[in-house]
Amino acid sequence: MTSLSSDDPFPSCTRALILWKPFGLSRRLLQVECSESILLFTLVPRLRKAPTVFLLGQRQGFSTMPEIEASLRDSELFSPPPVVRGMTELDRTAFKKTVSIPVLKARKEVVNRLMRALRRVALQRPGIKRVIEDPKDEDSRLIMLDPYRMLSADSFDKAELSVLKELDVSPQLSQYNLELTYENFKSEEVLRAVLPEGQDVTSGFSRVGHIAHLNLRDHQLPFKHLIGQVMVDKNPGITSAVNKTSNIDNTYRNFQMEVLCGEENMLTKVRENNYTYEFDFSKVYWNPRLSTEHGRITELLNPGDVLFDVFAGVGPFAIPAARKNCTVFANDLNPESHKWLLHNCKLNKVDQKVKVFNMDGKDFLQGPVREELMLRLGLSAEAKPSVHIVMNLPAKAIEFLGVFRSLLDGQPCSPELLPTVHCYCFSKESDPAKDVRRRAEAELGVSLEASSSVHLVRNVAPNKEMLCVTFQIPAATLYGLREFLTAKCGVCYP
């Protein structure tokens, strides 16, 4: 599979001087011993902005090598062969390629120490052993080096040279013909070689348990099955790749998806902030990009607090809160989310601490939430816990805020029982914080200027932010103006 082309690629019979202008920035003079100029070029990094290379051979005088310059520009050492371009069905055998790699010969007993010192310059390729046997000397090993960093023995830095000296290893490099296969290319290298040149090959995905969740662009669609297969091949633990086929604008916020590769089974298990969640990804909402936000809200809670989670999904706010010894009321309209929420409460051993509902958010607020607040109104001031209401349905949650207007109308106003709301929203405005606050104020009919904060959760798309506006429901809103003034002024208003 691999072969050693020469013990010493730089025999001293001919000396060539290379004037190298790396990246067009500065000129450097490298002196390399070599008999065949072509050998040198296999070791020069084949970067997009290829260096301008001039050869100054002792016999030929000065000459430029335009054909070599072109090949340096056009092909990178570690890109798969051109034959794979346009492939729509993955043929792994077409990815074979042989490249020249600089190697350093060393006695086998010093190899471990040497490898520690040569971390900077050692070859790093998936599935490639960096230390191999020397076919010509059983007491030696060959250390594969990064051809982009190692042009010659001069490329070792001072510290590396001093270790070589200490271990009595010659810095002289040899060349090794290394055969690369599909397994040795990274997913991005595979896709860049396959997809039409010049087009974006972004191979990013969200990982949801065993599922790679892709969001392919139109130009990638002809290659969708190959892309899915590459994601499965190159990412340990991923056995299924799916592509989002529509925006999540349905009520339950789950994706329409097409399985590109691997198992159709979307029942999966994820870990987030040390909790385990199981669900059917094709039927419920789950976004791994929200883990920080779930953790942030959990941090704000104290043991004994009450949490109402109006749009709870499969439980990523509710379960950590219950584990923190909060009393939790969690609701979701989607029967599948409700089912998995119950399941996950059991799985994380908090089913005794979470009451689970399957209702519309508005009914949940006007029913169980209101009843619970009324119950707690009767408690003494010290026994009244802090109450939090989480509303993570960013496209719509703001529209539910009107429910708080006079939710406890007619009840004796209690300043100790004013829930803190964490309401999520999207904004495309130039001042997103101002925008979401203004929209929340319009729903509540009260100014939040002095009593709210807005947290930027994440950038969802260019010019689209997800935010969380947090505020304590003003007493005048929750209890109605008459009750509020009665409590405040001690006068009973009709």
209 near ligand SAM, judged by CB under 6 A: no
Q: Least Å distance between CB 346 and ligand SAM?
A: 18
* Pick from 299, 281, 279, 283: nearest CA to 291: 299
Q: Is 294 annotated as a binding residue?
A: yes
Shortest separation between residue 311's beta carbon and ligand SAM, angstroms? 3
User: Measured from the CB atom, is 180 or 401 closer to ligand SAM?
Assistant: 401
In this complex, which beta carbon is closest to ligand SAM, that of residue 176 or of residue 329? Answer: 329
Which residues lie below 8 Å from residue 486, measured CB to CB, with a gap of 6+?
A: 413, 492, 493
CB of 402 to ligand SAM, least distance (A): 14
Per CB under 6 A, 253 contacts ligand SAM? yes
Token pair for residue 105?
């010969």
Residue 391 C-beta: closest distance to ligand SAM, Å: 9
Query: Interface residues for ligand SAM in 361-380 (CB under 6 A)?
Result: 361
> Where are the strands (E) in 252-337, listed by range?
257-262, 267-272, 275-280, 306-309, 327-331
| 333 appears as a binding residue in the annotation | yes
402-461 residues in contact with ligand SAM (CB under 6 A) are none
Q: Helix (H, G, I), strand (E, B), or coil: what is residue 99?
A: strand
Say which DSSP state 454 is in.
E
- Among 183, 19, 175, 170, which Cα is nearest to 92's? 183
Q: Does 285 bind ligand SAM (CB under 6 A)?
A: yes
How large is the angle between the packed helices 187-194 and 224-234, nearest 10 degrees?
Answer: 160
Q: Which stretch binds ligand SAM (CB under 6 A): 4-12, 23-31, 93-101, 328-336?
A: 328-336
Q: How many residues bind ligand SAM (CB under 6 A)?
A: 19
Task: Give the interface segment with ligand SAM, choosing from 169-177, 307-315, 441-449, 468-476 (CB under 6 A).
Answer: 307-315
Nearer to ligand SAM, 184 or 334 (CB): 334
Kindly state the tokens that stand for 403: 């429910």
**Shortest spacing between CB 374 and ligand SAM, in angstroms:** 21
Establish if 333 lies at the interface with ligand SAM (CB under 6 A): yes
Buried b / exposed e along 297-309 (16+ C-beta atoms within 10 A): bbeebeeebbbbb
For ligand SAM, which is the closer residue by CB, 20 or 252?
Answer: 252
Region of 233-241, 308-316, 342-350, 377-385 interacting with ligand SAM (CB under 6 A): 308-316
Nearer to ligand SAM, 247 or 430 (CB): 247
Q: Does 312 help bind ligand SAM (rule: CB under 6 A)?
A: yes
Task: Rule CB under 6 A: say whether 332 interacts with ligand SAM.
Answer: yes
Distance CA 243, CA 255 (A): 9
Antiparallel, parallel or unpaired: β 387-391 and 420-427: parallel
Which 96-125 residues touch ligand SAM, going by CB under 6 A? none
Strand order in the sheet with 464-472: 354-357, 327-331, 306-309, 387-391, 420-427, 464-472, 452-461
- 392 assigned to a ligand binding site: yes
Out of 228, 313, 320, 480, point to the residue binding ligand SAM (CB under 6 A).
Answer: 313
The single-letter code of the amino acid at 191 is L
Taking the least distance from each CB to ligand SAM, the nearer of 285 and 308 is 285
Give CA–CA dist 349/43, Å, rounded: 59
* Residues 125-154: x where in contact with ligand SAM by CB under 6 A, - otherwise, as a string: ------------------------------
String of contacts with ligand SAM for each residue 382-401, x by CB under 6 A? ----------xx--------
**Alpha-carbon span 479 to 373, nearest angstrom:** 12
Q: How far apart are CA 442 and CA 444, in angstroms?
A: 6
Distance, CA of 151 to CA of 173 (rounded, Å): 9
Rounded to a whole number of angstroms, the minimum distance from the CB of residue 74 to ligand SAM is 47
Q: Is 367 annotated as a binding residue?
A: no
Q: How far apart are CA 389 and CA 358, in angstroms?
A: 17
List of residues 6+ apart from 165 with CB closer than 8 A:
none
Q: Does 316 bind ligand SAM (CB under 6 A)?
A: yes
Neighbours of 228 (CB within 10 A): 25
3-state class (DSSP) for residue 431: coil
Q: Which of 36, 278, 360, 416 binds ligand SAM (CB under 6 A)?
A: 360
For residues 188 and 272, which CB has a smaller minimum distance to ligand SAM in the complex? 272
Q: Which residues contact 241 (CB under 8 A, 6 or more apart)?
A: 205, 211, 212, 214, 227, 228, 229, 231, 232, 259, 260, 261, 262
Residue nearest to ligand SAM as judged by C-beta position: 313
Among 53, 242, 290, 436, binds ligand SAM (CB under 6 A): 290
Asked whether position 31 contacts ligand SAM by CB under 6 A, the answer is: no
Which residues here bind ligand SAM, judged by CB under 6 A? Answer: 251-253, 285, 290, 311-313, 316-317, 331-334, 337, 360-361, 392-393
Binding-site members are 294, 332-333, 360-361, 392
Q: Which residues are annotated as a binding site for S-adenosyl-L-methionine?
A: 294, 332-333, 360-361, 392
